[in-house]
Amino acid sequence: MSVSIIKNSIRIREGKNVHMSIDSVDELVDFFDGRFHFLQPSLAVGFAKLQKNGALEAWMRKKGNVALADKISKFRSMPLLGYGTALRLIHHSLIAEHSHGFEDVVGLDEAKAKLMERTGFQERFAEMSEHYGVKKAGHILLYGPPGCGKSYLASALARETGRIFIQRNGCEILEDGISHTMNLLRKSDGAVLFIDEIDALLTSGREELPFVRDQVNSVLPSMDFRPDEKVTVIGSTNLPWLIEPVALRSGRFSDLVYIGLPTQQEREALLKYHSRQMPLESVDLSSIAASTAFFSCSDIEKLCQEATSRPWREAIDGKGKRKVGQSDFEEVLLWMEPTAISWMEKARDFKASPGFEKMLKPMFEQLRGYSSKIKCKRGDQYG
C-alpha cells in the first residue's frame, strides 16, 4: 500500500487499484480520525514521506487552507501519530501556540517547581518514579487574582514538557462537549489542556440548582485519564470560592497552586521587561516598583503602555520627540487603580467552609499584608 499526491488529490493505492482518494482537508482529518489506532506500517511510511518533504502542507495551500498549512508545518518533525494529532487538534481550533518557556516567566519559582514535579519529572525520571512508587498525579488548579500569569505559566509548562498546548475556557468546553475534547486528547502523544475560568464547569452546586451538581458529576469522570495517557489538565480560576469541593479531592484537582500578586522584586523585573523597547530617560524602576504594591502582572504592562503613550501622543501631535521619563510613570500612577483591589475585597469578605481552608490559606496570608488599605466587612478575621 502506498500514498501519493496525484492531480491535487491524496491517493492511497493497493497495487494498481486506488484504495482511497482524499480530495479535501476535511477528508484528510476524518482519515486520521478513523485510522489513528490501526494505521498500517506501509501507509504510515507513505504519509511520513509526504510530511517530511512538505507535500502535505503544499497540498493544503492548494486547497485554500493556508492558515492550517502554516500551523501544521511547525509539526513536520513530529512522528506520524503526533502529526495526525496536531492536524486534528488544529483543525478543530483546539491547539494554541506556546513560544515561551519558564525562563520567560518572571518569578513564580514555587509554582514552576510544583508543575514540573507533577508533570515533566514523572516522565523524565520514569524509572525513578517507578522505583519509589510515585503514581501519576491528579489535575492542577491555578487560582488567585486576575492578571497574575496563570495562562502564561501553563503555556510555558507545555514547552518545558514538549507537549502541545490546548487552551479553552469553561464555557467553550461546555459548548463543544466535554467528551469530544477529552477524546481528542486521549489520542495525542502528550498534551497540556488549560481550562480558563474552570469555575464555569465546576461551580459549587446548590439545592435550588440541582442541574449544576449534575454538570459537575458529568464533567469530572470525563477528565479521568489512564497513567499511560500523557495528558495534564490545568484549571484556572479567579473565583476559587465557587469551586465544588468534590472537585478538589485526591485524583481530581488535588494539586492547588496559588498564583498571587508579584513581589516588589518581581514587579521591578516586570517593569524592565515591559519597558525594554521604550526610550527611557532617568527612570527609577526600583522606586516605581515600590509604588505599585497592589499591581498585578497585567497592571504593570498597562502602566508601561500608558506611560509611553504620553510622549507618543505629543510626537504625533507635532510637539517633537522626547524620551519617556519618571514623570510619565508618576502621572499614570495618580489615576490608575489596581485591578486586584476589588478582587481582594471579595476574597476577604468570603466566608470559607472547612473544606476550603487549605486552598484559601496562602491567599489570605498574602492579603494580610494589605489589610490596612482594603475596606472589607471581615477584615477583623483575616486582617
Q: What is the pLDDT at residue 241?
A: 79
- Whether residues 225 and 178 share a domain: the answer is yes
Q: Which of 289, 215, 285, 279 is nearest to 246 (CA)?
A: 215
Distance CA 331, CA 320 (A): 20
Indicate the pTM of the whole model. 0.69
> Helix, strand, or coil here: 21?
strand
Helices (H), the chain: 25-35, 41-52, 55-62, 66-72, 80-91, 109-118, 120-124, 126-131, 150-161, 170-176, 178-186, 210-222, 264-274, 285-290, 297-316, 326-335, 340-349, 357-368, 379-382
> Helix, strand, or coil here: 182?
helix
CB 358 within 8 A of CB 256: yes
Q: What is the pLDDT at residue 188?
A: 63
- Whether residues 113 and 251 share a domain: the answer is yes
For 15-32, b where at least 16 C-beta lie within 10 A, e where not — what string?
Answer: eeeeebebeebeebbebb
- Whether residues 128 and 252 share a domain: the answer is yes
Q: Which of 234, 150, 248 is nearest to 198 (CA)?
A: 234
End-to-end CA distance of the chain: 72
Question: What's the distance, CA 253 to chain centroid?
Answer: 16
- Whether residues 119 and 253 share a domain: the answer is yes
- Whether residues 360 and 374 share a domain: the answer is yes
Ranges under pLDDT 70 in the chain: 1, 15, 33-42, 44, 74-99, 120-123, 136-137, 171-181, 183-190, 204-218, 220-229, 348-360, 367-383
- Whether residues 124 and 227 share a domain: the answer is yes
- Whether residues 242 and 146 share a domain: the answer is yes
Q: What is the pLDDT at residue 62?
A: 86
- Whether residues 119 and 229 share a domain: the answer is yes
Tell me, yes or no, whether 8 lies in a domain: yes
Q: What is the pLDDT at residue 130?
A: 74
Q: What is the pLDDT at residue 290?
A: 93
Which DSSP symbol is given to 127?
A: H
- Please write the tens of the pLDDT for every residue from 3-36: 888 878 888 877 677 777 888 877 877 777 655 4
Q: Which of 258, 265, 262 is nearest to 364 (CA)?
A: 258
Q: What is the pLDDT at residue 41?
A: 60
Question: What's the distance, CA 94 to chain centroid?
Answer: 12
Q: What is the pLDDT at residue 352?
A: 54
> Helix, strand, or coil here: 253?
coil
* Edge-to-edge strand list for the sheet holding 2-6: 2-6, 9-14, 17-22
- Whether residues 153 and 240 share a domain: the answer is yes
- Whether residues 251 and 111 share a domain: the answer is yes
Tell me, yes or no, whether 96 lies in a domain: no
Tell me, yes or no, whether 162 lies in a domain: yes
Distance CA 87, CA 79 (A): 12
- Please write the tens of the pLDDT for every residue from 131-176: 777 776 678 889 888 899 898 888 888 777 777 777 777 766 665 5
Q: Which of 270, 84, 257, 264 is nearest to 164 (CA)?
A: 84
- Whether residues 303 and 180 share a domain: the answer is no
CB 32 within 8 A of CB 84: yes
Q: What is the pLDDT at residue 276?
A: 92
Distance CA 20, CA 23 (A): 10
- Tell me the chain's radius of gyration from C-alpha atoms: 25
CATH at residue 111 = 3.40.50.300
- Whether residues 44 and 58 share a domain: the answer is yes
Tell me, yes or no, whether 132 lies in a domain: yes
Task: Name residue, grid cell 520627540.
Answer: 321
For the chain, the domain total comes to: 4
For 349-373, b where at least 16 C-beta lie within 10 A, e where not — what string?
Answer: ebebeeebeebbebbbebbeebeee
Tell me, yes or no, whether 97 lies in a domain: no
- Last residue within a domain, chosen from 230, 258, 286: 258
Return all residues near 375 (Cβ < 8 A) that are at least 6 apart: 345
Q: What is the pLDDT at residue 90?
A: 58
Q: What is the pLDDT at residue 154?
A: 83
CA distances (Å), origin 218, targets 179, 221, 251, 291: 9, 6, 16, 47
Q: How is residue 61 written as a grid cell? A: 495551500
Which range of residues forms the domain containing residue 378? 340-382
Distance CA 192, CA 95 (A): 10
Distance CA 68, CA 64 (A): 9
Tell me, yes or no, whether 372 lies in a domain: yes
Pairing mode of beta strands 140-143, 231-237:
parallel
Distance CA 88, CA 184 (A): 8
Q: What is the pLDDT at residue 297?
A: 92
